[in-house]
Amino acid sequence: MGIFKRQTSFINGKFLPSSSKRNVVTTSYPATGEILCELEEANLEDIAYAVESAEKGFRIWSKMKGAERGRILLRAAHLLRERVNSLAEIEVYDTGKPISEAVSVDIPSAAEAIEYFAGLASSLHGDHFDLGKSFVYTRREPIGICAGIGAWNYPLQIASWKAAPALACGNAMIFKPSELTPLTALKLGEIFTEAGVPDGVFNVLVGGREVGKELVRHKKISKISITGSVPSGKAIMAEGAATLKKITLELGGKSPLIIFDDAKLDSAVSASLLANFYTQGEVCSNGTRVFVHESVQKAFLEKLLSRTRNLKIGDPMDLSTHVGSLISREHLEKVMRYVKLGKEEGAKLLCGGEIPSWEEKEARFRKGAFIEPTVFSECDDKMTIVKEEIFGPVMSVLSFKNEEEVIERANDTEFGLSAGVFTQDITRAHRVIAEMQAGTCWINNYNITPIEAPFGGYKYSGIGRENSLAAIEHYTQLKSVYVEMGEVDCPYP
């Protein structure tokens, strides 16, 4: 039943045979509500099998030379690039995002992460400390079995951002994609195996938060990296305490984008559109609080509105579509509630906020989860739409008078994932960014996440970093070895 065949977990280099002992759930294509596939959720037996095979895989993989691991990972990245179109199509079916994004960002950025860490695999090293005669050296060793838990907005990218450093450092990984979007992570499992990753080194468990919880509780799993919401991050940290898990949390945000009066306005408008409407606004680092200096607000809004109205909302599989479907009807209802709250609390709705009316030839999208890109102005800091993460295409435009004021207001949130500043004044740009309580910042651009740069949050937006050399710290442990070259100096007779 569905567009794709029934899916099972990928363990020890193979898909599990179907079994009546597992709970079966279905996923759907968000744009039309059609059944996408049936999923057999991993049960306790499957989780035990995944851990057992990860242990075996780890013993082989961790003993291989970094260069050898790197070579295999590069082959996997190559396969991803070769299959970009078919993987992008699957990603669109799972998420409802426009295929132009999946082809140009989702799949290539997954490949890029694997290439980057494949390159680093051969240069992982420790240090040497000379103590005169004796010395100390350090070894950077893998942690063991790591679990990755993914969100639904960038399924393959998230799986790759976690798998690439984990595997490059010699760990095994058990990955649990979001229950809503499991298909490309399963494909990644197949691709790793095809590229030569030993069986058990990368397993994919299909299922919901119960499967995630089992991974967090498991004694043989040493590390958890989750991309998800703040409440899930808190729950995982609390649950993981019992087994002292090493933890990376990539959580939500409500980030500020500050546009000063000397900003290049067209670029600032482009960035505001990208920071709110890319992937229908379902991006953790989005700059959803757009602070615009009062003297340029009118000009900014004119440009913004004319470009927002030009965005093409529609068939996610059409390359010319800019805005696809939200992940589900349930999520659509949540976003619509925020739009209603925005109006009730006094923000001015300038455009969007409605479910599109589909012509007869596009009637199939009536069962989808589409909402028009939405812009509110005259927002104030206390409004619910300005304080809470909506995770949909809803932009709040706020006005400010001076630098000191906007810094304070931008930081007045429990989140701290990202921040952006637009100004031509180089001194002000660096001064303001230095004050931002956020882990990932941009000057005169927004939402660019090169693999070379650490990515992660301050405050409630997370703990630890993904990407870059910083990720190596989170997927290895350091062993110090003292080497005595003389006699043991002992005070005892």
Our CB check for ligand NAD shows the closer of 44 and 426 to be: 44
Q: Which amino acid is at 13?
A: G
DSSP strand pairing (440-443 vs 462-463): unpaired
Q: Which residue has the tokens 């479910």?
A: 355
Q: Based on the shown chain and the rule CB under 6 A, indicate whether residue 391 belongs to the binding site for ligand NAD.
A: yes
Our CB check for ligand NAD shows the closer of 229 and 399 to be: 229
DSSP 254-286: --EEEE-TTS-HHHHHHHHHHHHHGGGG--TT-
Whether the Cβ atoms of residue 126 and residue 204 lie closer than 8 Å to each other: no
| CA 247/CA 264 separation, integer angstroms | 40
| Options 232, 280, 288, 447; binder of ligand NAD; rule CB under 6 A | 232
| Options 88, 92, 172, 236; binder of ligand NAD; rule CB under 6 A | 236
Please indicate whether residue 162 is annotated as part of the active site. yes
Contact string (CB under 6 A) for ligand NAD, positions 370-389, x = contact: -------------------x
C-alpha distances (whole Å) from 194 to each of 121, 188, 199, 348, 479 are 19, 10, 10, 54, 33
Q: Based on the shown chain and the rule CB under 6 A, indicate whether residue 153 belongs to the binding site for ligand NAD.
A: yes
Our CB check for ligand NAD shows the closer of 180 and 292 to be: 180
Our CB check for ligand NAD shows the closer of 46 and 315 to be: 46
- The footprint of ligand NAD on residues 251-310 (CB under 6 A) is 251-253, 284
C-alpha distances (whole Å) from 459 to each of 240, 280, 326, 415, 434 are 19, 25, 27, 6, 16
DSSP state of 32: T
Which residue sits closest to ligand NAD, CB atoms considered?
212
- The footprint of ligand NAD on residues 319-338 (CB under 6 A) is none
| Options 41, 101, 250, 315; binder of ligand NAD; rule CB under 6 A | 250
Whether the Cβ atoms of residue 464 and residue 249 lie closer than 8 Å to each other: yes
DSSP strand pairing (418-422 vs 256-259): parallel
Please indicate whether residue 250 is annotated as part of the active site. yes
Our CB check for ligand NAD shows the closer of 139 and 213 to be: 213
User: Which stretch, 73-81, 171-179, 302-310, 356-364, contacts ligand NAD (CB under 6 A)?
Assistant: 171-179
Whether the Cβ atoms of residue 221 and residue 244 lie closer than 8 Å to each other: no
Whether the Cβ atoms of residue 475 and residue 113 lie closer than 8 Å to each other: no
**Residue 89 CB burial class (10 angstroms; 0-12, 13-18, ≥19):** middle
Contact string (CB under 6 A) for ligand NAD, positions 415-444, x = contact: --x---------------------------
Closest separation in Å from C-beta 221 to ligand NAD: 12
- The footprint of ligand NAD on residues 92-151 (CB under 6 A) is 149-151
Whether the Cβ atoms of residue 191 and residue 159 lie closer than 8 Å to each other: no
Q: Based on the shown chain and the rule CB under 6 A, indicate whether residue 356 belongs to the binding site for ligand NAD.
A: no
| Options 226, 263, 292, 335; binder of ligand NAD; rule CB under 6 A | 226
| CA 275/CA 268 separation, integer angstroms | 10
Catalytic residue selected from 162, 176, 187, 223 = 162
Catalytic residue selected from 250, 282, 372, 389 = 250
Catalytic annotation, residues: 162, 250, 284, 466
Interacting residues with ligand NAD (CB under 6 A): 149-153, 176, 178-179, 208-209, 212-213, 216, 226-229, 232, 235-236, 250-253, 284, 389, 391, 417, 457, 462
